[in-house]
Amino acid sequence: MYQPARTSRDPDLWERYEGYFLAAGAVLGTQSVLIVGLLLQRRRRRLAEEQLRSSQSELLKIYARNRDLGARLLQAQESERSRIAGELHDDICQRMLLLTMELESLRRSDERPGPAAEALTVAKGISKSLHELSHRLHPTRLRLIGLVGALEQLSHELSRAGVGITFTHRNVPALMSSEVMLCLFRTVQEALQNAIKYSGAREMAVHLIGGPAGLTLSVIDDGVGFDVEEAWGKGLGLASMSERLETVGGSLEIQSMPGEGTQVTASVPLHVLEAGDEVLAV
């Protein structure tokens, strides 16, 4: 039987499909590298997220500590103001009262009442200033006449020739804690004093309005205004007002531009007011 002669070796499986094998191997290698890269990237991302959560937690702890420290400092400040106010009222103001009584007696008995009358006028002026300073340092009248009455008196005391201060109020809650009252009083006091000292304002307005969301306090002046970001923390008391409101759960917003006056707005949410335990005169 005839068989054809073999001129060359028949190709085996590898030789016939070598290109396919190499291509498949390259694809598998590339996929393996990509999978390893993705796994490493996923691990790095998890580590970064864990570090971020840890950093956020640490920042929150630091913020809470700073807030607690700020509240303690404000409380210490109020305690010191109360002590100084008590000394002024119980010691110096009483001495000034005795001095005015002596000067009044001298004025009546002196044949030349001019010098005694002048001294009496000066003494009465000093006594009045000390009395007002005592109340500004620690407004005990808050507990007696409430926030509305205290703000009315403050507006009247700070009004002077060429500077008018108007005060309006509406729907002020009947219940409010002493901390919230003192915070809002200090905010108005600081805002008005800043306007008087720095803004050159001629007209100022204080509005205290209650609503469904809580209590809103606004202090507006027609002064020269200022750059809020630049002035923050430079002695205008802005940071102090903000810290006070944060300690009672409130917030502060300041709107001002050079030449356009200033508006200070303090907001206290309803749930904070509902926690109050003192009845106010409204």
Considering the domain architecture, whether residues 144 and 268 belong to the same structural domain is answered as: yes
Least Cα distance to 178 among 186, 188, 167, 166 occurs for: 186
Considering the domain architecture, whether residues 218 and 128 belong to the same structural domain is answered as: no
Return d(Cα 30, Cα 52) in angstroms, integer. Answer: 32
221 backbone dihedrals φ, ψ, rounded to 5°: -135, 160
Return d(Cα 253, Cα 35) in angstroms, integer. Answer: 52
Considering the domain architecture, whether residues 245 and 178 belong to the same structural domain is answered as: yes
Considering the domain architecture, whether residues 130 and 147 belong to the same structural domain is answered as: no
Percent of the residues in the chain that have a pLDDT greater than 70, as a whole number: 72
The residue out of 138, 172, 207 marking a domain boundary is 138
Question: Is 10 inside any structural domain?
Answer: no
Residue with tokens 């020739």: 161
**Residues 6 or more apart from 82 whose CB is under 8 A from it?**
137, 138
User: For residue 188, what is the domain's CATH number?
Assistant: 3.30.565.10
Question: Is 3 inside any structural domain?
Answer: no
What is the pLDDT at residue 278? Answer: 45
What is the pLDDT at residue 282? Answer: 38
Higher pLDDT, 211 or 137: 211
Question: Is 279 inside any structural domain?
Answer: no
Considering the domain architecture, whether residues 93 and 164 belong to the same structural domain is answered as: no
pLDDT above 60 (res 279): no
Q: How confident is the model at residue 178 (pLDDT cuts 50, 70, 90)?
A: confident
Considering the domain architecture, whether residues 55 and 172 belong to the same structural domain is answered as: no
Question: Is 236 inside any structural domain?
Answer: yes
Q: Mind listing the pLDDT tens digit for each residue in 81-113?
A: 666 766 666 667 677 777 777 777 777 776 665
The residue out of 138, 154, 181 marking a domain boundary is 138
**Residues 6 or more apart from 92 whose CB is under 8 A from it?**
130
The residue out of 138, 154, 170 marking a domain boundary is 138
- State whether residue 201 is helix, strand or coil: coil
**Residues 6 or more apart from 223 whose CB is under 8 A from it?**
195, 198, 199, 200, 201, 261, 262
Return d(Cα 45, Cα 42) in angstroms, integer. Answer: 5
Q: Which two tokens stand for residue 148?
A: 């509305």
Question: Is 75 inside any structural domain?
Answer: yes
Residue with tokens 């200090």: 186
Helix axes 113-137, 93-109, angle to 10 degrees: 160
Q: Mind listing the pLDDT tens digit for each residue in 19-57?
A: 777 777 888 888 888 888 888 888 888 888 888 877 777
Considering the domain architecture, whether residues 145 and 197 belong to the same structural domain is answered as: yes
Average pLDDT across the chain, whole number: 77
With contact defined as beta carbons under 8 Å apart, do 89 and 134 qualify?
A: yes
Percent of the residues in the chain that have a pLDDT greater than 90, as a whole number: 15
**Residues 6 or more apart from 67 whose CB is under 8 A from it?**
243, 246, 247
What is the pLDDT at residue 102? Answer: 72
- Other beta carbons within 10 angstroms of residue 19's beta carbon come to 8
Considering the domain architecture, whether residues 159 and 248 belong to the same structural domain is answered as: yes
Considering the domain architecture, whether residues 175 and 266 belong to the same structural domain is answered as: yes
Q: How confident is the model at residue 262 (pLDDT cuts 50, 70, 90)?
A: very high
Return d(Cα 46, Cα 50) in angstroms, integer. Answer: 6
Domain enclosing residue 53, as ranges: 18-138
Question: Is 64 inside any structural domain?
Answer: yes
Instruction: State the sign of the Cα–Cα–Cα–Cα dihedral 109, 111, 117, 118.
Output: negative
Q: Which amino acid is at 163?
A: V
Q: Which two tokens stand for residue 43?
A: 């691990």
Considering the domain architecture, whether residues 77 and 123 belong to the same structural domain is answered as: yes
What is the pLDDT at residue 276? Answer: 53
Least Cα distance to 138 among 95, 176, 87 occurs for: 87
For residue 8, give the DSSP letter. S
pLDDT above 50 (res 281): no
Considering the domain architecture, whether residues 61 and 173 belong to the same structural domain is answered as: no
What is the pLDDT at residue 44? Answer: 85
Considering the domain architecture, whether residues 134 and 26 belong to the same structural domain is answered as: yes
Q: Mind listing the pLDDT tens digit for each residue in 212-243?
A: 888 999 999 999 988 888 777 665 567 778 88
What is the pLDDT at residue 280? Answer: 39
Question: Is 4 inside any structural domain?
Answer: no
Q: How confident is the model at residue 270 (pLDDT cuts 50, 70, 90)?
A: confident
Q: Which amino acid is at 259?
A: G
Q: Mind listing the pLDDT tens digit for each residue in 103-149?
A: 777 777 766 656 767 777 777 777 777 766 766 666 667 777 888 98
Q: How confident is the model at residue 166 (pLDDT cuts 50, 70, 90)?
A: very high
Question: What total of structural domains would you count in the chain?
Answer: 2
